[in-house]
């Protein structure tokens, strides 16, 4: 079973995903990092040169390639679950973990990332906090619908996020096993 970390930018998907994968002795994949590695360009470059559609197509290809391998931990880009084809691929044998944080915390993390040189393309013409609030409002119903487990990362560090995920995994994995057995009977 794959563990899928989803949520808005700067909610801890990549950092928690790496540590979670280490703890579970599973491979870790960050879809945004894979896209950058495969294309030889940053996501802002892809978006500037070819547009969001080209980025989403690359994202879909990366996700499609990941689901056919061994169990792993996957950190998705924030908008990946808006594409029903991605969800269809991922949902077959996965547990979805929604990491979320308060908009103010996300905006502050984005500012720290930008000061450290991280590049994230703007999603709207709004200010940072305005963009966060607007996009989160649009995406929240999708995240909520898909989530098997939810972790609020607003005031906790990466280690605590991982502990909360690990604490929720046995129950969720057991429930998923029962569901599969029921379908097979």
pTM of the model: 0.87
Neighbouring-strand partners of residue 97: 5, 149
- The one-digit pLDDT tens for each residue of the chain (185 residues) are 999 999 998 999 999 999 999 999 999 999 999 999 999 999 989 999 999 999 999 999 999 999 887 899 999 999 999 999 999 999 988 999 999 999 999 988 888 876 554 565 655 555 578 888 999 999 999 999 999 999 999 999 999 999 999 999 866 664 554 454 444 44
CA 185, CA 114: separation in Å to the nearest integer?
52
**Helix residue ranges, H only, 40-127:** 43-50, 52-66, 84-91, 103-115
Six-digit token pair at 53? 């559609």
- CATH for the stretch 2-184: 3.40.50.300
- Under 8 Å between Cβ of 164 and 100: no
């Amino acid at each position: 079973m794959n563990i899928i970390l989803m949520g808005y930018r700067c909610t801890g998907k990549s950092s928690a995903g790496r540590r979670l994968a280490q703890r579970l002795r599973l491979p870790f994949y960050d879809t945004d990092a894979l896209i950058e590695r495969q294309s030889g360009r940053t996501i802002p470059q892809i978006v500037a040169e070819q547009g969001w559609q080209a980025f989403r197509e690359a994202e879909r290809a990366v996700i499609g390639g990941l689901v056919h391998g061994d169990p792993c931990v996957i950190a998705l880009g924030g908008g990946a679950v808006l594409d029903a084809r991605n969800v269809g691929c991922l949902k077959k044998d996965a547990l979805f973990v929604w990491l979320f944080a308060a908009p103010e915390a996300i905006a502050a993390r984005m500012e720290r990332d930008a000061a450290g040189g991280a590049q994230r393309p703007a999603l709207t013409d709004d200010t940072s906090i305005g963009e966060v609030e607007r996009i989160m409002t649009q995406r929240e119903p999708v995240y909520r619908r898909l989530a098997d487990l939810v972790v609020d990362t607003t005031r906790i560090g990466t280690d605590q996020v991982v502990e909360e995920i690990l604490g929720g995994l046995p129950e969720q994995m057991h429930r998923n096993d029962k569901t599969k057995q029921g379908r097979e009977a």
